[in-house]
Structure formats: structure tokens, C-alpha cells
Amino acid sequence: MQPVHVGVGPVTPAQVVAVARGGAPVELTGEALDAIDRARAVVERLAAAPTPAYGVSTGFGALATRHIPAERRRDLQRSLVRSHAAGSGPEVEREVVRAMMLLRLSTLATGRTGVRRETARLLADLLTHGITPVVREHGSLGCSGDLAPLSHCALALMGEGQVRDASGASLPAAQALAAAGLAPVELAEKEGLALINGTDGMLGMLLLSLHDLRVLLRTADVAAAMSVEAQLGTDRVFAEDLQALRPHPGQAASAANLRALLADSGVVASHRTPGQGVQCDRVQDAYSLRCSPQVHGAARDTLDHAATVASRELASAIDNPVVLPPDGDGPGRVESNGNFHGAPVGYVLDFLAIAAADVASIAERRTDRFLDRARSHGLPPFLADDPGVDSGLMIAQYTQAGIVSELKRLAVPASVDSIPSSAMQEDHVSMGWSAARKLRRAVDGLGRVLAVEVMAGARALELRASTGSTAGVAPAAATGAVVRRLRAAGVGGPGPDRHLSPEIEACVDLVQSGAVLAAAEEQIGELA
């Protein structure tokens, strides 16, 4: 696997995913090492000066007024990391911790933090060797950075705390470092603070969620197309000239996807003209069918806004205090600032949770229409084989509804909350980490809701093809390919009731992995 090279410029979202999920090794560039050395020289000059400098020769937070003598400063850094590694609860996922480590390394590489090159190199080595510190879920307020989660990572650099090796085994950090031929570092002035004072945890989760949502929002268009088609809806409302009357880019993209997905559908064509084929007596389709591009499109535009914020964060050097290297004849300086506040990231994390909840909500409404004989236009109740004896997908919709209800709770913003900390020195915090944690659950829930809709759509399309006036009529190429992909993966079609949970989980895997989307795109090309 090709290594990700970390330089003074920002890493890309694709590189974050490659390291976090793909296990890509990491290397610092020579340019980054030179920038690190220049910033370190500034810190060492201030450390030798008699005047106190925050983060270099003083305490932290509410204890910033205490000047620390030179002989205690390494104790200061060590104590900072140990005391701040105060997380509690379940382990944070490996991919999140690796993303957080890479993003912190990227900031170190800008030459704005004042760490030594050996400290930055060790962080890169942990990523390369697959050594992942054990980070606990609770502990970050999203201000002064993700202090507790990053402290658990910094603790591993000191050879302390628990980690998981590349195989996933849990062991003491010192043992894992030794097995990899690595030596722990003794943190020098400012290094402990530089390792823990960033928004890297919440940003890492934002980037991973953006990656997943780009797949899921296109898959939502696939699911909606299957619902429109199998519920004998019209594709005329997705026409380009109608969508242009409201020029939101996400709406236009979603509608274009729906047109492509439904192109040449025999099912849609069978009832396009009143009096031909299936009886067509509806003036308008329900909102959940007709307004799919408007809802999916708004979510897409929200995602694009969040991606813009993420790109700015990737280009940031977040630390407090921050090192401003020599400029011309100036000596360089270390300055306090508030760039560690997580509000910009927290807001969009919350915004995306709202979008995920609404896309899931409209998908559940489309699914419910399949199951109600009064609204499904000739499909059997609950898509059951022998209604009354069989329940079909009745309880699959219950599962959807339960998840959608949870997503609505997860859509309540975390970023409007603030609990003062550090003896009122840190009196307004972002709760961005909490916003990120709930967004991850929301993204997972959205994938599960879409999976049930895809299952229902596939079953309904097969029922249309085998019974009634649409018997023998072919679906669109893209939706037909999705049905075949599900069947190849063991997600069964119409028939007597059977144990449904394994099939739902198989469909969830197909949706979240992008396999459903790929099946459609193999027929009609890449969706917008």
C-alpha cells in the first residue's frame, strides 16, 4: 500500500479515509520536518528566557498563572497528558482514532506547534505499524480541542496506557512499541499541549461521515426510484424544466439521478398514458414520492456546505498557544488564541444529523406505502405471500420506524449546549465531539432505513413482474440490476415468511458498502 505523505499543506479527505480505514502507512516529508525544526527553535528560545510563556513555562487553563521552573517542565508535560487522559465508556472505533491521529500529525507538520521531530515521527510510526491507542467515548467538550481523546493518544507516545496492535489485540503501550522496534518519547516543553489541543477527533468523524453520506445520498435516489417505479408513480415530476424552476443544485442532481434510474422502465411506461395498460387515475403522487428530489437535494446541499467547512479545517493549524515562526528578521513568537473552539465543526455535524434524519424519514414513508393495500395500487398487504398466514415485511417497517424515531432524537443539536469547565476559564464549549458521536449513529441508522426500503422495492418490483396487469413488464435497467444484486447476496424475494433479520443485515451491508449504488451505476453510469 502506498504511504500517505504528510507535509506542511493539508491532507486530503481521501488520505484520511485511506489511513483511517485502509491502514495506509504514513511518512513525514522533508519540508514538514524542516518546518517542525524551525518552530521548535522558537519554543526552545522562549523556554530559556526568564519571562513566562504560556504552554512553555506555565501551567494550563485556570493554572496558567503559575511559572514552572525548568527542572519541572518535563514533569509538567507528562502530568498534563496523564491527567487529561480521563476518558470513560466504550472504546472509540479504530478508524476514528486513526483519523484523529493523522489529523493531529498534519497540524504538527505545519510547523505551528513547536514539537520536536522525533515526537512527530513517532506519531507517524504508530499509524504505520497499526498501533491504535485505546480512546474512551466520553471526555471531550469540543473546546481546547478534543482534550481527553487526544490525551489517550499522546499517552501511547509516552509508552503508557493501553493500545491495540495491528491484529486488534489489546496490550500495554510500552509492550506494543517495543514489539514494533519503537521507543517512547519523553515530552519536552509544550509538546504535551501540542499533542492534545485540536479539533481532530470531531473533524475526523466529520470526514468519515461525509464519505459515507456521499454514498448513502446517491443510494437514497436509487431507493426512491425503486419506490416510484413499483408504486406506479410518475417520473414526469422529475423533468429538468420543472426542477429548474427552483434552482437548488442538490435538487437538480437528485432529480437527474431519478430520471436516469427510471429511464426505459417498462413499469413506468405501462401507466404513463391514461387508458393504456394499468389504470392511471391519480392526479398526483404522494409527497414522499413526488418530493424526493427536494428532500434528497436539500441533504446534498447540506453535505456540500459541511464539506466546505471540513476543507477549511483541514487547512488549519489548531493549537494553543500557536507558534508563529520567524518572519524576516523577527525572532518568532508563541501566541494564545481561540482557534481550538469546535463551533464551526460542531454546527455542521448537527446540521448533517438533521439531514440524515429527514432523508430516513421520507424513505420510511415511501416504504410504508408498499405495505398498505389501500395505497399500494394492487400489491398484496405487507407484500406477504399469503396475507394473514404470512406477515411479509410488516415488522421490517417497524424496524425502520424505530430507527427513524431514534434519528429524530439524534437530530437534536449538541452544539447549542455548553457546560463551563476549568474553574470558569473555559466557560463556553462547543460539544462538537458529542455532535460527531451522534452523527456517526445517525449515518448508520440512515443506511439501515434505506436498506429496508430497497428490500421492499425489490420485492414489490418482482411482484409487479409476476402478477396483475404489469406481469412480464420489465423494470428499468438500473433498478432491475439492484434486484439481481440483492438476490445474489442472499436477500430473498417474494415467498412464505422466513427469518428476516439476516436478510436485512445482508441488505444493510450492500447499502453501506456501496454495492447497491454500484449495481445501478454499472447499468447507467455514475450518478451525480
The cell numbers describing 9, all together, are: 499543506
246 and 300, same domain (yes or no): yes
Task: Give the list of residues 6+ apart from residue 138 with CB closer than 8 angstroms, or none.
Answer: 87, 88, 89, 148
**Residue range 133-154, pLDDT digits in tens:** 999 999 999 988 899 999 999 9
Q: In the structure, what pLDDT confidence band is assigned to residue 62 with cuts at 50, 70 and 90? A: low
Confidence at residue 57, expressed as pLDDT on a 0 to 100 scale: 80
Mark whether 45 and 193 lie in a shared domain. yes
- CATH number of the domain to which 245 belongs: 1.20.200.10
Lowest mean pLDDT among 40-44, 368-372, 468-472, 512-516: 468-472
pLDDT of residue 468: 76
228 within domain boundaries: yes
In a shared domain, residues 216 and 185: no
- 464 inside domain: no
pLDDT at 274: 55
Domain boundary at 170, 198, 226, which? 198
E strand or H helix at 218, and its extent? helix 200-230
Any domain includes 489: no
Q: Are residues 339 and 440 in the same domain?
A: yes
Q: Judge whether 483 lies within some domain.
A: no
Mean pLDDT is lowest, of 84-98, 259-273, 477-491, for: 259-273
Question: Is the model's pLDDT at 280 over the cut of 80?
Answer: no
pLDDT, greater one: 271 or 416: 416
Q: What is the mean pLDDT of residues 11-35?
A: 98
DSSP code per residue over 25-87: -EEE-HHHHHHHHHHHHHHHHHHHSSS--TTTSB--GGGTTPBPPGGGHHHHHHHHHHHH---
**Do 143 and 274 share a domain, yes or no?**
no
List Cβ neighbours of 237 (8 Å cut-off, separation of 6 or more): 285, 290
Closest Cα partner for 479 from 227, 240, 289? 227
- pLDDT above 70 as % of the chain: 98
Last residue of a domain, one of 198, 221, 240: 198
Q: Identify whether 423 is part of a domain.
A: no
pLDDT at 381: 97
Query: Do 132 and 148 sit in the same domain of this protein?
Result: yes
pLDDT above 50 (res 252): yes
Domain that holds residue 312: 206-318+335-418+428-444
- Residues 163, 212, single domain; the answer is no
pLDDT tens column, 302-361: 999 999 999 999 999 999 999 998 777 778 888 989 999 999 999 999 999 999 999 999
Q: Kindly report which listed range (31-35, 349-353, 467-471) carries the lowest average pLDDT score.
A: 467-471
| Residue 123 and residue 83 share a domain | yes
CATH code (residue 92): 1.10.275.10
**pLDDT of residue 89 exceeding 70:** yes
SS3 239: coil
Instruction: Please give the average per-residue pLDDT across 496-512, as a whole number.
Output: 98
Are residues 118 and 260 both part of a single domain? Answer: no
Do 233 and 188 have their domain in common? no
- Are 148 and 221 within one domain? no
Clarify whether residues 355 and 235 are in a common domain.
Answer: yes
**Is residue 158 predicted with pLDDT exceeding 80?**
yes
Number of domains into which the chain is organized: 2
Is residue 452 in a domain? no
Which residues have a Cβ under 8 Å from the Cβ of 36 and sit 6 or more positions away?
28, 108, 109, 111, 115, 116, 117, 120
* 398 included as an active-site residue: no
Q: Which pLDDT belongs to residue 332? A: 85
473 located within any domain:
no
Catalytic residue among 54, 287, 347, 398: 54
**Model confidence pLDDT, tens digit, residues 222-234:** 999 999 999 999 9
- 158 occurs within a structural domain: yes
pLDDT (tens digit, 9 = 90+) per residue, 170-223? 999 999 999 999 999 999 999 999 999 999 999 999 999 999 999 999 999 999
